[in-house]
Amino acid sequence: MRKKTEATRANVLLTGFDPFDREAVNPSWEAVRALDGWKVEGATVHARQVPCVFGEAIETLASAMDELKPQLVLCIGQAGGRSEITPERVAINIDDGRIADNAGHQPIDLPVIAGAPAAYFSTLPIKAMVRDLRAAGVPASVSNSAGTFVCNHIFYGLMHRIATHPVDGLRGGFIHIPYLPEQAARFPGAPSMSLAVMVQALRIAVATALSVKRDVAETGGQLH
């Protein structure tokens, strides 16, 4: 019995989004798919692409979780304009699209899940992840807002599912990553990060999430 539980849960699910907002690529999918099949800390990493569409993103994530029964779920998304790898602290129960999603939907001030809590915290060791990323020479900071678009939406859907279908030891969270250089070249002055550094960053984030059970107490706050 014990063996079965361990075997079925020795999976890590990484998700990345398809391109949105007139981009040709999404760095989250490019980075995640480079890690498909990677074995780390006795677990196997599975990469899945999710549509940048309200509703469908959470449904795709839920099917992948049903199939893989992962012990760790890490959803990744593009945050154009950010210069660092940013583990997110909190998912909020609101959809408020500044732009339409890839299906043309632009919800305004609707709950991700009606009647569910206002917010959920990531259950990943976000401070330890930032510490380990910086130690490896990768710019990183905790982010205290995942926005109100499809990334916050899938993050909220993930944390709601974990809260309402508890599985021993299952943890999940979200990381925003910068533009790739070829994307930033269209927006002079915008920061970017190479794919190689982003893939390395995700390796570190996964390894830390698997090995650090209790987060470290280090400042990751912001004044505003």
Catalytic residue among 30, 46, 52, 88: 88
DSSP string computed for 164-205: HS--TT-EEEEEEE-B-HHHHTTSTT--B--HHHHHHHHHHH
Query: Burial of 52 by CB count in 10 Å (0-12 exposed, 13-18 middle, 19+ buried)?
Result: buried
Catalytic residue among 75, 84, 151, 153: 151
What totals of helices (H) and strands (E) does the chain contain, helices first?
A: 7, 8
Strands (DSSP E) along the chain, which ranges? 11-17, 39-40, 43-50, 72-78, 86-87, 90-92, 119-121, 171-177
Please identify which residue in the block is written with the tokens 């599912």.
Answer: 161
Print the binding letters for residues 46-85 with ligand PCA: x by CB under 6 A, - otherwise: ------x------------------------xxx------
Print the binding letters for residues 117-156 with ligand PCA: x by CB under 6 A, - otherwise: ------------------------------x-xxx-----
74: closest CA among 207, 213, 172?
172
We find the least distance from the C-beta atom of residue 77 to ligand PCA, in angstroms, to be 3
Interaxial angle between packed helices 126-135 and 195-211, expressed in degrees from 0 to 180 and rounded to the nearest 10: 130
Contact residue for ligand PCA among 9, 14, 15, 28 (CB under 6 A): 28
Query: How many residues sit in the footprint of ligand PCA (CB under 6 A)?
Result: 12
Task: Answer yes or no whether residue 179 interacts with ligand PCA by CB under 6 A.
Answer: no
Instruction: Say whether 26 sits in a helix, a strand or coil.
Output: coil
The answer to whether residue 176 is catalytic is yes
Cβ-based nearer residue to ligand PCA, 129 or 179: 179
The answer to whether residue 88 is catalytic is yes
Cβ-based nearer residue to ligand PCA, 149 or 209: 149
Residue of minimal Cβ distance to ligand PCA: 151
- Separation of alpha carbons 165 and 131, rounded Å: 30
Cβ-based nearer residue to ligand PCA, 64 or 128: 64
97: closest CA among 161, 46, 148?
148
We find the least distance from the C-beta atom of residue 186 to ligand PCA, in angstroms, to be 16
- Separation of alpha carbons 170 and 184, rounded Å: 35
Catalytic residue among 46, 153, 160, 176: 176
Cβ-based nearer residue to ligand PCA, 45 or 174: 174
By annotation, the residues acting in catalysis are 88, 151, 176
Q: Would you tell me which residues interact with ligand PCA (CB under 6 A)?
A: 17, 20, 26, 28, 52, 77-79, 147, 149-151
